[in-house]
Amino acid sequence: MKDIERPYRFVALAGAMAISWTAAALAQDSETPPERLDRLVPGWMAECHVPGVSVVGVEDGRIAWQRHYGVRRAGSPGKVDTNTLFEACSMTKPPFAYVTMKLVEQGRLDLDRPLVEYLDKPYLPDQPRHRRITARMVLSHTTGFPNWRPGGWRSKSPLKVGFEPGSRFEYSGEGYYYLQTVVEHITGTPAEKLMKERLFDPLGMAHSSYVWEDRFAELAAAGHDAEGRLKENRPLYRRANAGFSLYCSARDYATFLTEMLDPDRSAAHSLSAKSLDAMLTRAVLAAGRKPVTRSGHASDEPVWWTLGWPVDAARSGDRVYHGGANGSGFRCYAEFDRRTRRGLVIMTNSLSGEALWRRVVDAVSPP
């Protein structure tokens, strides 16, 4: 399970491909984003070996348009549509962070209290430094944990704290799984049920779950390798992992973005404006991360991490975003701008999908 999820990064495939499309795309000023994508995406899919992709745009805080291309499974006729489920990969983390922050708001979890104090026994008895890890450190990726322990999260390999918790950034799915263990203990509720009750059902996200459900068989996209070939014997996640196991449609994830952008914070499931501001405030410098290129421009400023999301200093203001990469054959990306209340979600069913989503973002996301 070592390669199930890893921090997204620019792949060599993208660098090897011609980039003349950028100028051509940006020259079409009269095109709407959907029109531009209709013109460009089919060709990009062929170049990048991506069988299927969903793209959803949010404008003025609402889902404004959708585009779906290709097929759910290479060699099969089933087309990608608004109900097609993808693996959200690392984009699993922000919804869980949102529900966690609601527990903080309710006084059931303290961001700065050591997580070990919420459990009946130490999470890592042989790692004394883990006793200093807090929810804030997990959400900002400063726990000292690696992304995953040797062999992956299901392995029995020992998990070690590699540096002093809170001292610096290092992306970690293991941190989220530790926090999940604490949240489940506090609430007495499995993560998949908690997410459904606290977020998915209130938002009407009917095609979202942190575990595989049999009803997904007719809706879900299959994973593919970097050449667009079907990934055989792909694992199905029947045990929730807050780091990567979310199945959802691009439209459902865009619905979550509309919740992040909604100025009305009065709903029972919603974070207060104060809590939302706290969640999206820059917390730690994400050393080694490079800003995303949008409309031919990448910020000269470094990437920061909030309590759940990375942030780029785009020309129009902070752009909040997250990507994802599961070795089972999926790549995805989402972003939003709180000032303009615009957002974008892209989900693909190929290991080479990052090269595609970067092109889509560069073509339709404002600088």
Percent of the chain with pLDDT over 70: 92
Is the CB of residue 111 less than 8 Å from the CB of residue 133? no
* Amino acid 29: pLDDT: 67
Answering whether pTM is above 0.95, one says no
Cα–Cα distance list, 48 to 43, 157, 361 (Å): 9, 36, 15
Cβ-Cβ contacts under 8 Å for 85 (sequence gap 6 or more): 207, 216, 219, 220, 221, 247, 248, 249
Domain presence at residue 348: no
Structure tokens at 40: 């460009």
Cα 207 from Cα 217, distance rounded (Å): 12
CA-CA-CA-CA dihedral for 194, 177, 82, 352, to nearest 10: 180
Total domains, the chain: 1
Domain presence at residue 354: no
DSSP of 165-220, one letter per residue? TTSS----HHHHHHHHHHHHHHHTS-HHHHHIIIIIHHHT-TTEESS--GGGGGTB
Domain presence at residue 353: no
Q: Which of 62, 63, 298, 43 is nearest to 53 (CA)?
A: 43
Mean pLDDT (whole number) for 160-176: 98
Cα 245 from Cα 92, distance rounded (Å): 6
Q: Nearest 5°: phi and psi at 16?
A: -80, -15
Q: Which of 90, 34, 14, 79 is nearest to 53 (CA)?
A: 79
Cβ-Cβ contacts under 8 Å for 261 (sequence gap 6 or more): 58, 61, 336, 338, 341, 343
Cα 105 from Cα 176, distance rounded (Å): 19
Cα 316 from Cα 312, distance rounded (Å): 10
- Write out pLDDT tens, residues 264-285: 999 999 999 999 999 999 999 9
pLDDT: which is higher, 355 or 14: 355
Q: For the domain that residue 69 is a member of, what is the CATH number?
A: 3.40.710.10
Is the CB of residue 11 less than 8 Å from the CB of residue 352? yes
- Name the pLDDT band for 19 (thresholds 50, 70, 90): very low
Is the CB of residue 152 less than 8 Å from the CB of residue 1? yes
The residue type at 32: T
* Amino acid 14: pLDDT: 43
Domain presence at residue 355: no
Domain presence at residue 225: yes
The residue type at 263: P
* Amino acid 8: pLDDT: 38
Say which range, 9-13, 24-28, 54-58, 287-291, has the weakest mean pLDDT.
9-13
Is the CB of residue 275 less than 8 Å from the CB of residue 286? no
Cβ neighbourhood burial of 30 (10 Å; 0-12, 13-18, 19+): exposed
- Write out pLDDT tens, residues 34-59: 999 999 999 999 999 999 999 999 99
The residue type at 355: A
Cα–Cα distance list, 304 to 159, 177, 250 (Å): 26, 22, 25
Domain presence at residue 352: no
The residue type at 13: L
Domain presence at residue 5: yes
Percent of the chain with pLDDT over 90: 89
Domain presence at residue 307: yes
Range of 29's domain? 1-343+362-367
CA-angle at 103, arms to 117 and 108, nearest 5°: 45
Mean pLDDT (whole number) for 95-101: 98
Is the CB of residue 298 less than 8 Å from the CB of residue 362? no
Q: Which of 155, 109, 107 is nearest to 136 (CA)?
A: 109
- Write out pLDDT tens, residues 189-227: 999 999 999 999 999 999 999 999 999 999 999 999 999
Cβ neighbourhood burial of 132 (10 Å; 0-12, 13-18, 19+): middle
| SS3 call for 62 | strand
